[in-house]
Structure 1
């Protein structure tokens, strides 16, 4: 089973323009992400797919692999699908967000395992999540939350608080969605042929396109404990984490 990791990377970003080229402890965010993913040893190939010559040069000049997108894309998954169209020997494609410089081996291995065995044959799309305990983070729309069923299939993703604690005697578990997706190749290519859904457009969460079209997404719990760089404040948190601070 050939497994590749593709990192979609666009220069523009609504909340933090140019964030992938921001410097984090002496290295750019995109290079730290690429180097972390490559360093796990989980994949047969790791590549950045970008619309930016600046990002392309950053990866290639440091000895990494990158390709330029030929078209405009609505989401990161759309972007990597363009690159996958010509890769017929690939079985599993993992979309690792370019702003995840703390990507680790163990969560990626757990993600790959859900595609194995008889039960795994039915899994078309999977992703990661971690438990949230800080109420400030749970209420923060920059943190994407996910609710799951008893089989850990996603029910809904939202920037709002889900589930909402109307009954305060209940103690629900809150999960943060980690922006790493794994697809069977054909599922990824089919994704690009499906129009952007209403929920996806409203929440700006691309995996809602699957939910809205009735395609199950298997969620895997991990103790990720990293920082996704969505805002300048996240960059500061990440810097403190790299320096061993809290």
Structure 2
């Protein structure tokens, strides 16, 4: 098995995230990056910007103050070699994994010193580093699993099955995730807020290891959404609100829009 990891970086305390108890929040951020994407083949290796798509995501993750370690996890030799080309920590993982979180758990087991683990999807090149910090802090004080969502009003986004929607209870815990538009508006209410899910999960170590031992349920299989495995088995998922929604890169159109934003001044 190939492994390339560097020494743990130590940063001065002023740049760390501090939780409400005054403890320093540090996290292991794992970016699962498989090559076998269906709608946009080999998308993590797209490089029209001058950088691999996964490289953009990795660079954003490294800017999070909580990021003690950022590791790309893959089952592809091509992705492994690409990650090495921009000096990323990268691990080859079991190709039999059925979802990204299983890949993340394999990496987490190799680094038992981390109690907070963040699963950041490789196709999120515009992830906000501050959002990663917020998720890490909520994991520290929460029940084990934290994710993110943002309010969206565009009907084209809300009706797109590639965009995952989420409804929450009054305490910001997820009730359900779906590719369908939820909640269904039988009656119009001005205060209705539609939330679109962002592909980031924060886990407390025990919750992550419990999750990957659970059987896949019917809802996960029907919707094709791994987070439903947690809900089906009674695990709660806290949802933090992000200030804006950016689509993950799932199609050629998504990638072209991302490139346009880069040219217009994105980083």
* TM-score (ref. length: structure 2): 0.86
**C-alpha deviations, 1:163-197, integer Å up to 9, x for none?**
00111245410001000000011111111111111
1:189 aligned counterpart, secondary structure: helix
Task: Determine the C-alpha separation between the residues in 1 that align with 2:265 and 2:223.
Answer: 33
User: Which segments of 5 or more consecutive residues in structure 2 lack a partner in the other structure?
Assistant: 1-24
Task: Determine the C-alpha separation between the residues in 1 that align with 2:116 and 2:265.
Answer: 36
Aligned to 1:62: 86
**C-alpha deviations, 1:109-128, integer Å up to 9, x for none?**
22122134xxx2x4210001
Which one of 214, 220, 228 corresponds to residue 234 of structure 2? 214
Which one of 100, 111, 116 corresponds to residue 92 of structure 1? 116
Using a 3 Å threshold, how does the CA distance of structure 1 residues 225 and 244 change in structure 2: closer, same or farther?
A: farther
1:230 aligned counterpart, secondary structure: coil
Summarize the alignment of residues 11-160 of structure 1 with structure 2, pairs less than 5 Å apart. Answer: 11-116=35-140, 120=141, 122-160=142-180
User: Which segments of 5 or more consecutive residues in structure 1 lack a partner in the other structure?
Assistant: none
Aligned to 2:22: none
Indicate yes or no: 2:206 matched with 1:186. Answer: yes
Indicate yes or no: 2:53 matched with 1:6. Answer: no
Task: Determine the C-alpha separation between the residues in 1 that align with 2:104 and 2:250.
Answer: 20
Of stretches 7-16 and 170-179 in structure 1, the one that deviates more from structure 2 is 170-179
Of stretches 172-181 and 218-227 in structure 1, the one that deviates more from structure 2 is 218-227
Task: Determine the C-alpha separation between the residues in 2 that align with 1:24 and 1:111.
Answer: 31
Task: Determine the C-alpha separation between the residues in 1 that align with 2:111 and 2:61.
Answer: 20
8 Å contact from structure 2 (residues 27, 118) kept in 1: yes
Task: Determine the C-alpha separation between the residues in 1 that align with 2:148 and 2:254.
Answer: 19
1:78 aligned counterpart, secondary structure: helix
1:236 aligned counterpart, secondary structure: helix
Task: Determine the C-alpha separation between the residues in 2 that align with 1:245 and 1:233.
Answer: 19
Aligned to 2:249: 229
Which one of 158, 161, 172 corresponds to residue 181 of structure 2? 161
Task: Determine the C-alpha separation between the residues in 2 that align with 1:242 and 1:5.
Answer: 24
8 Å contact from structure 1 (residues 196, 209) kept in 2: yes
Q: Which has the higher contact order (CA 8 A, sep 6+)?
A: 1
8 Å contact from structure 2 (residues 165, 194) kept in 1: yes
8 Å contact from structure 2 (residues 163, 247) kept in 1: no
